Chains A and B, each alone.
Chain A
Amino acid sequence: MSTLMSGAEAVRTIAQVGNEPDWLGHWRLQAWESYEGAPLPDRVAHLWRYSEPEKFLIDKVEPLLPDGSTGQAVDPTIVRTLSDKFASEATQGLAGLLIQQDMRAPKFSLEEEWREAGVIFCDLSSAVEQYPQILEKHLGKQVSIEESKFAALNAALFSGGVFLYVPSGVEINAPLHAVHQSNQDLAAIFPRTLVVLEEGASAILIDEYGNTPDAGSNGAAPRVIAHAVTEASIDKNSQLQYFNVQNWGARTRSHYTQKIHVGRDAQAVSGGIVLGGIYNKADIRTELLGANAYSEMIGVLLGDSLQHFDNHTEHVHVHSHTYSDLDFKVVLEDEARSAYTGLIRIDLEAADSEAYQENRNLLLDKQCRAESIPELEILNEDVRCTHGATVGPIDEEQVFYLMTRGLPRRAAERAIVEGFFAPVLDRIEDKAMHGRLWNYVRGKLETKTNR
């Protein structure tokens, strides 16, 4: 923590600057105490077997505080000029867009049609001011203070953030896109996203983390510690597609917690596009709470240099007649490391459920390492459940085959990598979304083919 300000003071400042209601200020203080009071996670504990908790402490960096700027609804054409990334057709076909830098001064837009239908899409700080009752009901309910030491840290210090609320029966037919950027060197940042879908609602959200590559000192990537949280509650018969794009810069350490609660007859498709950061840990969990609840979890991870990734997923079948399917593909190069642990838990009451899990790892160099560990806790025998895991090098015969057609080695490897990811991304039916997510992956592949 900064020498200038204690954590508790920081929390009070955030609550004050944001003009937050008492319950939230109180909750933040509680969260801070919980963070400070909790010991560092034990490395023996299974979730911390692969990463060092010390790496995520923020005592050597400055936690970013709000500067009093509040969310600003703007015309989409203005938003477009904010960033090169959005200067092109990238904004076309979006229902809404939200951009914020360093958790400050969020700019957001939402198509008229959806605003009139009662959809809310803005930063959390604005939402707290304008819709305190909805926030009080939903904030911190999926990812609570008790979740973990670092989830508590996010609760204490988040500002800005993303709030998506879709009222009953409203089906948004185009994607919404949120961008969290951090450009300040030696900073800690706390992005938080809350999604609430009421009964029969539907939405597609891309939630993107990144920073300008040269925003740090001397044109290097900024040194950032990011503690991010996403929580989503989707009610009966609703449909959510949530894609988290982890595109942090080369010197960001990121800890991420995601939880989705899926109600009866509801469907959640959640995806992770994991590309950035230097030291990364993510805990991702979807709970199936009602009959016919459905979850599809997909992930593609492309790691290189000295990147470290530790991903843990959980599919928790609480109710009977529930369905989960996970497909997570990892490609590593150079000296990158990935550890994947995937839990399927089927509760005693969750009869007639189906759960599938597949994690495949492709290694392009001898120095990279991947581990894959499926974990099953099946308490009911009346279920169907399969899992598969592989770790292996690229097939040299495939490379040779492509090279005999004139592709240079790197292009051949790239084709194989794209082919490896394709079945995962091809699960996404929405064409525009499919193309968008591919663009992130290709963006990283591009830099590699050319080097």
Chain B
Amino acid sequence: MSDNSHPLFEVQNLKVAIDGNEILRGVDLTINEGEIHAIMGRNGSGKSTMAYVLMGHPHYEVLDGSVKYKGLDMLDLDTDERARLGMFLAFQYPMSIPGVTVAKFLHSALKAREESGEVAVREFRTNLNEAMNLLGVDSSFASRYVNDGFSGGEKKRLEILQMFMLEPDFCILDETDSGLDIDALKTVAEGVNAMRSEQRSMLLITHYQRVLNYVKPDVVHVMMDGKIVRTGGIELAETLEENGYEWIEQELFQNTEATGIGTAEA
């Protein structure tokens, strides 16, 4: 991270509960403009909670901490307001919206961003076709109902297609690699790489190192039990691939014993 970098996204001491159970137990995270961060961790470590809570899912209760994006406090804003400010979440399990076509859905989402509430149909069509071409998506996609009867791979492609069309400044990708065969993974990764720019930051949430062969992160974090317990470069992901998560657990355990402190810092 260079000195002239600007934090685009800052999470401080974020504590979050669902149904009274504390899932995130003090997360700190700073992402600068243009950076790609990966959060790795096992199932149940709190990664997906992180994704949802950053977008303002109503079921999660924020107990403490702050989330700042472009210097604005996000926790006071509704999900749609965060989205219109340029945040985006690619879902692990995208919802189907029967009866609403992909084209209509994207058109409405773009219109919601305009003060005039208008987006020229011709221009929209051109952009959509271009994006579908880039992602190797059949043109019939546009007239299908959103995620309705889509295969796992199609759903993930639609998430990336939406990211292309909405051009967010901060993208959270929640397990976008899960359930994809190698070809689909490559296509999706190419899409993500094509979106990479100096202004745009991304947070990849994954529990496999596999996707990081295709999308190279600047920073890798390991999440365990609702906290970020290690932060490093791509080599951290490679170590995890080789040794699994257990060695971190062991280290944490030793640290705890040695210092007598209940929490472990990375």
Partner of A400, one of B79, B88, B99, B108: B79
| Chain B proximity mask over A410-441: 1 for CB below 8 Å, otherwise 0 | 01100110111111000000000000000000
Q: Is the CB of A405 within 8 A of B99?
A: no
Q: Is the CB of A398 within 8 A of B97?
A: yes
Q: Using Cβ atoms and an 8 Å threshold, which residues of chain A touch B89?
A: 404
Does A129 reach chain B (CB closer than 8 Å)? no
- B residues 77-109 near A (Cβ < 8 Å) are 78-80, 83-84, 88-89, 91, 94-95, 97-100, 104-105, 108-109
Known A-B contacts A404-B88, A405-B109, A407-B112; the reply to A420 vs B99 at CB < 8 A is yes
Nearest residue, chain B, Cβ from A417: B99
Does B208 reach chain A (CB closer than 8 Å)? no
Does A396 reach chain B (CB closer than 8 Å)? yes
- B residues 53-99 near A (Cβ < 8 Å) are 55, 57-58, 78-80, 83-84, 88-89, 91, 94-95, 97-99
Q: Is the CB of B100 within 8 A of A418?
A: yes
Known A-B contacts A405-B105, A405-B109; the reply to A421 vs B99 at CB < 8 A is yes
Bin the interface of chain B by size: 20 to 34
State A402–B57 Cα separation when bound (angstroms): 12
Nearest residue, chain A, Cβ from B106: A405
**Whole-angstrom distance from the CB of B225 to the nearest CB of chain A?**
26
Known A-B contacts A406-B112, A411-B112; the reply to A398 vs B80 at CB < 8 A is no
Does B145 reach chain A (CB closer than 8 Å)? yes
Known A-B contacts A411-B108, A415-B108; the reply to A406 vs B84 at CB < 8 A is yes
Q: Is the CB of B145 within 8 A of A419?
A: yes
- A residues 390-406 near B (Cβ < 8 Å) are 395-398, 400-406
Does B113 reach chain A (CB closer than 8 Å)? yes
Known A-B contacts A406-B112, A407-B80; the reply to A400 vs B97 at CB < 8 A is no
Q: Is the CB of A401 within 8 A of B109?
A: no
Q: Is the CB of A423 within 8 A of B98?
A: yes
Does A409 reach chain B (CB closer than 8 Å)? yes
Does A408 reach chain B (CB closer than 8 Å)? yes
Nearest residue, chain B, Cβ from A408: B80
**Whole-angstrom distance from the CB of A364 to the nearest CB of chain B?**
15
Q: Using Cβ atoms and an 8 Å threshold, which residues of chain A touch B166?
A: 405-406
Q: Is the CB of A422 within 8 A of B100?
A: yes
**Hey, which bits of chain A sit against chain B, CB under 8 A?**
395-398, 400-409, 411-412, 415-416, 418-423
4 further contact pairs, Cβ within 8 A, besides A403-B83, A404-B88, A422-B98: A401-B94, A405-B166, A406-B166, A415-B105
8 contacts between A and B (CB under 8 A): A403-B83, A404-B55, A404-B88, A406-B109, A406-B112, A415-B97, A415-B105, A415-B108
